[in-house]
Amino acid sequence: MNKKILLSFILTISGCTLSPEYSQPKTVIDQPRILMSGRKFQEYHFKDLFQDDRYLQALLVEALKNNYDLMQAKINIRAANGLKLSALFDLIPQVRGSINHNTLVSSQVSPFTGEKTKSKSKFYQSSLGVDSYEIDIWGRKQALIESRSHQEKASVISLEAARLTLLNELASSWYETLSYIRIWHFLNEKLARMNDIHQKMRIIEASGRLDPVIQAKFLRGKATDENTRRKIESEIVVRLHKLHYLAGAESDWLNLSSWRTIDPDYSLKDIPQQISSQVIFNRPDVAIAEMTIRSENGNIGAARSAFLPVFNLFAMANQTSDNFSHTLANLSNNWTLTPSVILPIFNIPANYATLQYVTAKKESAVIDYQRTVSQALLDIKNSVTLLHSASESRVDLEREAAMQSDVFAKVQARLDAGYLDLYSYYEAVDMKSIVDIELEYSRQQCMLATIVLLKAIGG
């Protein structure tokens, strides 16, 4: 009767864990708030970076197959899954079976006749049983499974984080490259006009009517523009190399042999969107920090169970037979079942130290989670501010560029009518080019700020 009561008690509490119940730590954004509103920032909507750019989409497909960080993240998922499966299989008793063939040879000498006789016998021994299986009464194994499961979830989220980082770097390099190509075309157009001006200056110089100071200023400006174009070419090549590295392949459209001939202009759809602080909890780094806390809770449960008695079972069935076909028969007629209880009295100091260690790791994980949330909030605020500033600058430069275009059209008309000197025309060309390039740099900064903001909110 006592055995039945003990067995019922063991089965009732088996599988329960001593892990702390998870509760979300307090953070700086427990009260949701709006961080960016589409109504307030009507000029600063998001851009759909991939939907309308089939060339970038094609490169992204290659990157998802070839990127080294993604490959490593996938391997980490497999490793974490292996750890979880190892903990799961620990719930299954390890059955040990063996069959032995024994040959016994003995010799005897007769004390009467001195005759020596030999005898030989063969027999088989078989055994099947479980060596010291720990019954998971206090949930130590369940706690470890819980910990390993959250570690696996964290590795899956890490893969999403790696994809988000890849998307960010790929889009940044792609649109920076297109922007620099556009600037390169502006400089080519400007240098073409300056070459035309230079040819006309040579004619005036031949007649002795060219001011040397004006000539020196013009040549200095032309040399500066040529040097700037070479630097822009270098920036383009560096970013094309980065695109190749990130994707593991070259774009069929944008590559080292084609970039001089492509049209770098791009038009992306605006996506009005309101950002709430709640998006922070969807960020991969925040989710990983949360999984770390949950994993440490499992480790605490396992450490707590180490203070309690360990219930082990040893079961073995044996059979001896002179015939191999009977080695596995009648095992039920000769078996033993030995339960044992191990009291971890002498392990209490070590178990206490382990519990202190995993508790401190959990407390550290909570602080790391709170810091990660705070950092995410800071990232979004800074990204919104940068996008706000870049967008205002772009709007101002667009107005200035429109005015410069009107002015340049009038200057061109005066030159064609013969009412304008060449140096004044050069200054107008230079001014228009400066404004166009500044506007393109501003548009580039808006795009990069948008990409940074999209990453800050977790995509």
- Establish if 127 belongs to a structural domain: yes
Residues 297 and 383 in one domain: yes
Residues 266 and 323 in one domain: no
**How many CB atoms lie under 10 A from the CB of residue 8?**
10
Residues 318 and 212 in one domain: no
Burial degree of 327 (CB within 10 A; 0-12, 13-18, 19+): buried
Question: Can you name the residues that pair with 239 across neighbouring β-strands?
Answer: none
Residues 279 and 413 in one domain: yes
**How many CB atoms lie under 10 A from the CB of residue 399?**
11
Q: What are the phi and psi torsion angles at 133 (to 5°)?
A: -85, 125
Q: What tokens were used for 401? A: 């560029």
- Establish if 11 belongs to a structural domain: no
> SS3 of 336, please?
strand
Burial degree of 161 (CB within 10 A; 0-12, 13-18, 19+): buried
First to last CA, the chain: 63
- Establish if 2 belongs to a structural domain: no
pLDDT of 403: 93
- Establish if 8 belongs to a structural domain: no
Helix axes 54-66, 68-89, angle to 10 degrees: 50
- Establish if 1 belongs to a structural domain: no
**Measured over all CA atoms, what is the biggest interatomic distance in the chain, rounded to whole angstroms?**
149
Q: Which amino acid does the sequence have at 274? A: Q
CATH of residue 248's domain is 1.20.1600.10
Q: Is the dihedral of CA 382, 385, 391, 397 positive or negative?
A: negative
Q: Which of 157, 143, 160, 89 is nearest to 294 (CA)?
A: 143
Task: Tell me how far apart the alpha carbons of residues 164 and 161 are, in angstroms, rounded to a whole number.
Answer: 5
Residues 160 and 223 in one domain: yes
Residues 167 and 102 in one domain: no
- Establish if 149 belongs to a structural domain: yes
Angle (CA) 2 9 6, round 5° = 20
Task: Tell me how far apart the alpha carbons of residues 256 and 249 are, in angstroms, rounded to a whole number.
Answer: 12
pLDDT of 114: 66
How many CA atoms does the CB half-sphere of 67 hold within 13 Å?
Answer: 23
Residues 124 and 248 in one domain: no
Residues 120 and 163 in one domain: no
Secondary-structure percent of the chain, ordered helix, strand, coil, rounded to 5:
65, 15, 25
Residues 35 and 151 in one domain: yes
Residues 257 and 198 in one domain: yes
Tens-binned pLDDT, residue by residue, of the chain (459 aa) = 454 554 444 444 455 678 888 888 988 888 877 776 544 444 444 455 666 688 888 999 999 999 999 999 999 999 999 999 998 888 888 888 778 877 777 777 667 676 777 777 777 777 778 878 888 888 888 899 999 999 999 999 999 999 999 988 999 999 999 999 999 999 999 999 999 999 988 888 888 888 888 889 889 999 999 999 999 999 999 999 999 999 999 999 999 999 999 988 766 655 556 778 888 888 999 999 999 999 999 999 999 998 988 888 888 877 777 776 666 666 667 778 788 888 888 889 999 999 999 999 999 999 999 999 999 999 988 988 888 888 889 889 999 999 999 999 999 999 888 888 888 899 999 999 999 999 999 989 888 888 888 888 886
Number of domains in the chain: 2
Cβ proximity of 338 and 315 under 8 Å: yes
Q: What tokens were used for 400? A: 């200035």
Residues 107 and 239 in one domain: no
- Establish if 237 belongs to a structural domain: yes
Question: Can you name the residues that pair with 47 across neighbouring β-strands?
Answer: 270
Domain boundary among 343, 364, 398: 343
Helix axes 140-206, 422-456, angle to 10 degrees: 180
- Establish if 449 belongs to a structural domain: yes
Distance of CA 11 to the CA centre of its chain: 42
Domain that holds residue 110: 96-135+313-343
The single-letter DSSP state of residue 388 is: H
Domain boundary among 343, 365, 386: 343
Helix (H) or strand (E) holding 116: strand 116-135
Q: What are the phi and psi torsion angles at 294 (to 5°)?
A: -65, -40
Task: Tell me how far apart the alpha carbons of residues 97 and 95 are, in angstroms, rounded to a whole number.
Answer: 7
Model-level pTM?
A: 0.79
Residues 186 and 321 in one domain: no
